[in-house]
Amino acid sequence: MLVSFHGSHSRDFCDHASDPLRQILQSYVDVGFTHVGVTEHLPPDNDEFLYPDEIELGHDAAFLTERFARLFNEERARLKAEFREKLELFFGFETEVYGQNSCGRIEEAISMYSPDIIVASVHHVGDVPIDYSKELFEKAVSIFGCIDSLWGAYYDQQYSLIQCLGAYTNQFPIVLGHMDLIKLFSPSHTPSNIVWDKVLRNIEAAADCGILFEVNSRAFKKGLSEPYPCPKILEAISKSGGTITFGDDSHAANEVGLFLKDAQTIAYKYFNYAIVFESRNNGGYQLNKTSLSG
C-alpha cells in the first residue's frame, strides 16, 4: 500500500527539506503512490521559536507565515489540478506545540486555511525542541531533571494536543504523528510505569475521538531499529481498537517511500488493515480500509 499522509516536506516551504515540492510529488508518482498528504509545519507567530536553520537563513516568523499561507492560498488548488490524474493530494499542516495558547493558534490556523488533514505532532517540551539535535534534547532533559520526567512531560503535552483536536475528526482526518518521537535521542530508555500509563491514556483518548495513528518510517532513516511508534505501542493501539495509517515523512525526492515497507511489515504483526482517506465529491472525506499483506 503506497500512501503517505505525512510527507512531502519540501524546500519550498520547509528550511530543513532538500527538494522543491513539485519534484517530490513527481517522485511519489514515479514510485507508484496513490494518496499523499502535503503537511508542512505550522509556522510560529513570533521569532522566539525559530529553529537554528531558519535563523541561519535569515528567515523570521513573518516570512515563514507568508510562505505557509502561499501553500494554501496559491499552491493547493494549482497542484491538486496539476496532479489530479496522478495523485489524490491532501493539503494540511503538522502541528507545533510551544509557548502560550498552542491550541488557540492551531484552531486559528484551522479557521484560516481549512486544511484537508492535520498531522498532530509534538516537537517541543518545555518550549525546547526534542528532535532537532542531541544538544537541545539534553537541554530539555536538564529542565525536567531526568529522561523519564521529560518523556512524561512529552506525553502530557501530546494528551493536551489530542484533547484540542479531537473535536475536529468529523471535519477532516486527524493523524497522531510519530507518537513516540521522544525516543529519537534516548532510544535505549525504558519508560517507567508512570510514563507508560500516560502512553496508554493517550492511545485511549485518541482512539475514542477518532484520531488515527501514524506508522512513520522516517525513524529508520534516523538510525532507529523500529518505526514510530514502537511495536509495544502498536500492540497497545491494536488492543484499544485504534486504527493506523502510514507516513514516510519525506524531506527530499529520494526519501519518498523510504523504509515504508519495513514499517508496514512491523505493523502487519498487529493490524490486518490500514486506513486510506478518500475525498467526497460533495465535500468532506471518507475512511476506507485497505488490507495489509505480509
- Pick the range with the lowest mean pLDDT from 25-29, 75-79, 148-152, 285-289: 285-289
Of the chain, the percentage scoring pLDDT greater than 70 comes to 98
Does an H or E element contain 235, and which? helix 231-240
- Residue 15: is its pLDDT beyond 90? yes
The CA distance from 244 to 51, in Å, is 30
The CA distance from 214 to 177, in Å, is 5
Q: pLDDT band for position 1 (50/70/90)?
A: confident
Q: Do 194 and 137 touch, CB atoms closer than 8 A?
A: no
Q: What is the mean pLDDT of residues 115-120?
A: 97
Q: pLDDT band for position 210 (50/70/90)?
A: very high
pTM here is 0.96
Put residue 249 in one of left, alpha, beta given phi > 0 → left and psi -120 to 50 → alpha.
Answer: left
Q: What is the pLDDT of residue 293?
A: 61
Does an H or E element contain 156, and which? helix 147-165
Identify each DSSP E strand in the chain by its residue range: 3-7, 35-41, 88-94, 117-120, 124-125, 128-129, 174-176, 212-216, 244-247, 273-279, 285-291
Query: For the domain bounded by 3-291, which CATH number is listed?
Result: 3.20.20.140
Q: What is the mean pLDDT of residues 84-105?
A: 95
Q: What is the pLDDT of residue 230?
A: 98
Q: pLDDT band for position 294 (50/70/90)?
A: very low
pLDDT, tens only, 104-113:
999 999 999 9
